[in-house]
Amino acid sequence: MNLFRTVTGLSAALLGAGLLVTPVSAAPPAEPSTRDFGNGPERNEIAATIPEGGTLTTLAAPDTRWTPPRRGYPRQNDLREYPVNPDDRSIKLGLVPYHGIAPRLNALQDASQRVSAEVVGQSALGRELYLVTLTAPESAAESARQDRWREQIEDDPAAAKRDRALAKGYKTPVWINANIHGDEWEGTDGSLRVIERLATATDAATAAFLRRSRVYVTVTNNPDGRIAGTRANGAGFDINRDHATSSQPESRAVRDVVIATQPFVMLDEHGYTGTTLIEPATPPHGQNYEYDLYIKHALPNTLGMEAAIQALGKPETARADIPFRDYAPGDWDDWPPIFTPMYAMYQGAIGHTVEIPLRVNRADYDNLPVEELRRRSALNTDVAEATIEAALRYSDTNRATLLADQIEQFRQGWAGAPSPQIPDGFVDGFGPEDRYSTEFPRAYVIPVGPAQRSAPAAARLVDHLVSHDVRVTQARRDFTLNGRRYPAGSYVVDMHQPKRGLANVLLEAGRDISELVPQMYDISGWSHRLLWGASVDISRSAAPRVSTRPVTVAAGTGFVPSGRGDLALTLRDAADIRAVNALADLGVPLSRTSAATVVVPAAGRASAKAVSQQFGVRFEPAPRGVPRTPFEKPVLAAAVSADELFALRDMGFEVRTVSTALLNAGADLSGVDVLLVSSGLSYLGLNATAKAAVDRLLAGGGVVTRGGTGAAFNTAAGLLPATAVLGRGDANGVVSVQNTGAVVGAGSLPHSFVYSPIWFTGSGFTVEQRYAADPLVAGHWVPNAAGVGGPEQAAGQASVVSGATARGGKAVLFGTEPLFRAHPKGLYAQFARAIYWSAP
């Protein structure tokens, strides 16, 4: 894991928006004990780049949940075997290359009726993701009974608690996730050892264990990174930061696995921390957990894993670091739901990150002798295997209490029980610093109709919640709640539901924890309610009294008014941007009445209807008598991070990736309308030829910047007379803003997201957006020093500015993070409006 936002170069095809090829190497992680909390490294130091060659796949794919087939075990499938790839980076370490996994699993399926292997998804580059299930053979009827019991545990926990047959016969589910970071390899190899032992052992104890258990293993969660030796997947994303957003196919695949298998215990095998690290984590603990039900198992399970690695008898495994026991608050927390184990906890599991000890990646991979690398990898594999075996023993030994406590977690959700109050000493070391709780609201309502800010954003949010197994219903008729009238079709998230913690952690505002812990490991604030662009109301104490129906997919939102006149589309959401770019691709002549409104001529109505259906956008009759400016889709040159490139292409922009190195090597800027700068481009680092090319673009083209790199480019290139002031480098979270400008500010949300926040001082530009008087809503943001770089200093300052540049073009500078990790989807439109406005 890494304190700062991990970035890798994104491999991308030249044009063909949304197409990928093999990525370049990732940035090294920061060690949790040696961090710089000043104005340290910007979270994106490497720009996304244009590669050579590679396998192509689209970025965006329909989010359809994988579910296992309804049949008995074994469920054996002949896995496709890939050609030998001598460039697979795992080979040097003496580990199993990706192309070696399918043959090994196929052979085990041939040899053992205990092994089932299936494909549960594809990576960003289209490689198959494998799920292996180990259990004693089951007839179709026996498997169906297990499915009914699993559903009963979630849907009717009171009945499950009384069901003696369930208590006796339900198989203990355990899930092992390996290699989510591609250059942390050995979890795959350790799990393959465990698979082989369980598949082939002839002793009675193993046979009895498999009659009582199901062990699920996602053998490699990141085959693209495994092959390339990169932390990130083929789209440049850290998958272990994506579980609240599910932007990547790999995170969606394991989301579906945890929902379908509902494990009691899960391990996520990582590396490398010098000493084996095994969670539970430090405070702050996620305030939406039933933390008492978690820690009572997590700590003893971890102690068992520590004993297992000690039994290896190696000096490097003499002890484990257990953050809950050994680290200071904030050093290795479990606050955000972005990590796999933390996400799994909301799905009913006791989740653990395991960090195996000896580094074999990054500089060590290149510089250490092969013999030493293989010694380290062998020991790391032993550690991974030992922790998995210990977790299986704990799960089997404690199956009755694990079952009872998963039932209890879901029962408390259905009952609307208060957040648990855990006494000091509940487990060894539990004290006031560990006590985090929340007050769950009674319901959330996502309205439809005039009160909804963005119909496509609301539909996206509903579909996202449903895909994560959050229960959403839709009102059959109009209703009144807390004095407000809601039309039929409005969506209700009743918080009396089994996975209320997950529902709340996605929808609540969050919490300012700046005074509670001195530092944070990763992001501290997020909110789909505040940042995804939909109007969502909270009912603290009352649930709607209205008949509802369960939602499996949100109702369509596309709309084109009748008539023959021109149409207008207000740019509030990424869906609106996608629609505009699609219309431009279709050759529809567009115009604008303002930065936020695009007009489609009457002759383009058929195209408008098509994009309305495709993207769910809602057109209105165009206003008459308002001046219009002809408008075309701009061509972008972008020195941006992987997540920003992903978002831009997802919105349908044509993007050519650039960097200092690429421009110095002769990258072509002809035909480019707007230059985007947030990562990997230094104006002062350009050679004479490249600088001349950039200067020609700046003479009339647009510029949109983000972050410290963008601000430095603005100053060096002499664009806007704005001085950037940098807040604390690791500060992040949801902030309140005041929208004051006509370009970015028009129609934007009253909240934004920051990571390493920036504000601008000076004059000679338009302030599009300001930080509010008390800016931080949720997250962690403290000053660098007294009176320097904190939220008090940012209050009221300009967070986004625009203006005509000294070079003859237009520029917009962002001090916020509107595209961060593909998460704050409701902010995408303001970034796109900046692009449209700045284009010549």
Show the CA angle centred on residue 202, arms to residues 197 and 208, nearest 5°: 90
Looking at this protein, which amino acid is placed at residue 221? N
Could you tell me what percentage of the chain is helix, strand and coil, using 3-state DSSP and rounding each to the nearest 5? 35, 20, 45
Is 355 designated active site? yes
Give the C-alpha separation, 444 to 516, whole Å. Answer: 28
For 291-442, list the strands marked E by DSSP. 333-334, 350-356
Q: How far is CA 761 from CA 134, 720, 765, in A?
A: 61, 11, 10
Please state, in angstroms and rounded to a whole number, the distance separating the CA atoms of residues 740 and 761.
15
Give, for 568, the enclosing helix (H) or strand (E). strand 567-570
Is residue 115 within a helix (H) or strand (E), and if so which, with residue range?
strand 115-122
| CB-CB neighbours of 718 under 10 Å | 12
CB burial class (10 A; 0-12, 13-18, 19+) of residue 808?
exposed
CB 291 within 8 A of CB 250: no
Give the whole-angstrom CA distance, residue 620 versus residue 567: 6
Residue type, 795: A
In angstroms, the CA 348 to CA 265 distance is 9
Chain-centroid distance of CA 196 in Å reads: 32
**CB atoms closer than 10 angstroms to residue 463:** 16
Q: Work out the number of other CB atoms within 10 angstroms of the CB of residue 817.
A: 27
Q: What's the rounded Cα separation, in Å, for the pair 256 and 154?
A: 16
In the DSSP assignment, the letter for residue 63 is -
Q: Establish whether the linkage from the previous residue to 544 is cis, with ω within 30° of 0.
A: no
- The neighbour count for residue 540, using CB atoms within 10 Å, is 10
* Closest of 710, 713, 799 to residue 758, by C-alpha: 799
State whether residue 562 is helix, strand or coil. coil
CA distance 703 to 772: 26
Residue 172 phi, psi (nearest 5): -70, 115
- Beta strand segments in 296-399, E: 333-334, 350-356
The SS3 of residue 386 is: helix
Structure tokens at 280: 């539970």
Q: What is the largest CA-CA distance in the chain?
A: 85
The alpha helices in 437-573, defined as continuous H runs, are 455-467, 500-507, 528-531
| Cα 448 to Cα 444: distance, rounded to the nearest angstrom | 13
Q: Which helix (H) or strand (E) holds 108?
A: helix 98-111
* Three-state SS at 29: coil
Residue type, 230: T
Return left, alpha or beta for 114; rule: phi > 0 is left, psi -120 to 50 is alpha, else beta: alpha
- Alpha carbon dihedral 706, 30, 28, 754, in 10-degree steps, equals -20
Q: What ranges in 551-706 are assigned the alpha helix state H?
A: 574-585, 605-615, 642-650, 660-664, 688-698
CB 291 within 8 A of CB 428: no
Which residue in 569, 566, 622 sits closest to 456, CA to CA? 569
The one catalytic residue among 118, 138, 186, 355:
355
What does the block give as tokens for 608? 């408008």
Tell me which DSSP letter residue 785 carries.
B
Rounded Cα gap, residues 573 and 736, in angstroms: 19
Q: List residues with catalytic annotation.
A: 355
